[in-house]
Amino acid sequence: MAQVKSRQRVEEHGEVFTNEREVNAMLDLVKQETERIDSRFLEPACGDGNFLSEVLRRKLAAVSKRYGRSQFDYERYAFVAVSSIYGVDIMQDNVEECRDRLFRLVDKAYTRKFKDDCRTEFRESVRYLLNENILCGDALTLTTNNGNPIVFPEWSLVSGGKVKRRDYTFDSMLNASTDAPTFDMVVNLEVDSEDARKAIPTPVKEYPLASFLEVAKHE
């Protein structure tokens, strides 16, 4: 993958992609978090997902190792792995490339493992998660390109195959106290110190429980 798409994009958006060696070296500094299936990672200027794809690759390896013997467990925990990955980029083409790249990663691992038994609903859920979690917007103003606040879903696997979704503004998640919905790891961004992060955010929307295979029908 080239590190630069065009000189104009470098000048206007500082778009220089990080190479694989550096991505791995940085992620190795927080190795345990990258292998924890539910650690919540945010890359606020994600480009086409150089960091997020490596985090997802590591999480999926952990899912396969721990839950690979049961297809249902594999699907549930791969859902958790994807649902805890978040990205924002100001360029729509980067956002789409990032979503596609993460989808292909899951699809390849899933297909290799379960071949003809793979389920369309699982793939649809993964697609849906990526559309909701990887968003186009400005990570400095925390708004979408049409000026609305960026809103991220928080996904929690409750019991069996049920999932609870609550939506929070990006702003409230970044400033949340640590026992509230927040990110475990933020790539390349300073977040406020623990002391400043006192607020417990309230969701802007809550959804009824739904099967992890049916979140796309959740509205």
Ligand X SMILES: C[S@@+](CC[C@H](N)C(=O)[O-])C[C@H]1O[C@@H](n2cnc3c(N)ncnc32)[C@H](O)[C@@H]1O
Binding site for ligand X (CB under 6 A): 13-18, 43, 45-47, 50-51, 88-91, 94, 138-140
Q: Taking the complex as a whole, how short is the minimal distance between the CB of residue 4 and ligand X, in angstroms?
A: 10
Which structure tokens are listed for 209? 């429980």
Cβ closer to ligand X: 96 or 124? 96
* Spatial separation of the C-alpha atoms in residues 134 and 41, rounded to whole Å: 11
**201 alpha carbon, distance to own chain's centre:** 20
Q: Taking the complex as a whole, how short is the minimal distance between the CB of residue 35 and ligand X, in angstroms?
A: 20
Cβ closer to ligand X: 80 or 105? 105
Cβ closer to ligand X: 4 or 200? 4
Q: Taking the complex as a whole, how short is the minimal distance between the CB of residue 66 and ligand X, in angstroms?
A: 28
Q: Taking the complex as a whole, how short is the minimal distance between the CB of residue 94 and ligand X, in angstroms?
A: 5
Q: Taking the complex as a whole, how short is the minimal distance between the CB of residue 56 and ligand X, in angstroms?
A: 14
Contacts (Cβ under 8 Å, ≥6 apart) of 150 = 88, 135, 137, 142, 143, 144, 169, 170, 171
Cβ closer to ligand X: 96 or 121? 96
Contacts (Cβ under 8 Å, ≥6 apart) of 127 = 99, 103, 216
Beta bridge partners of 41: 85, 185
Cβ closer to ligand X: 45 or 176? 45
End-to-end CA distance of the chain: 37
Cβ closer to ligand X: 143 or 175? 143
Q: Taking the complex as a whole, how short is the minimal distance between the CB of residue 43 and ligand X, in angstroms?
A: 6
Helices 120-133 and 71-83, axial angle in degrees (round to 10): 10
Buried b (16+ CB within 10 A) or exposed e, 49-73: bbbbbbbbbbbbeebbeebeeebee
3-class DSSP assignment, residue 116:
helix
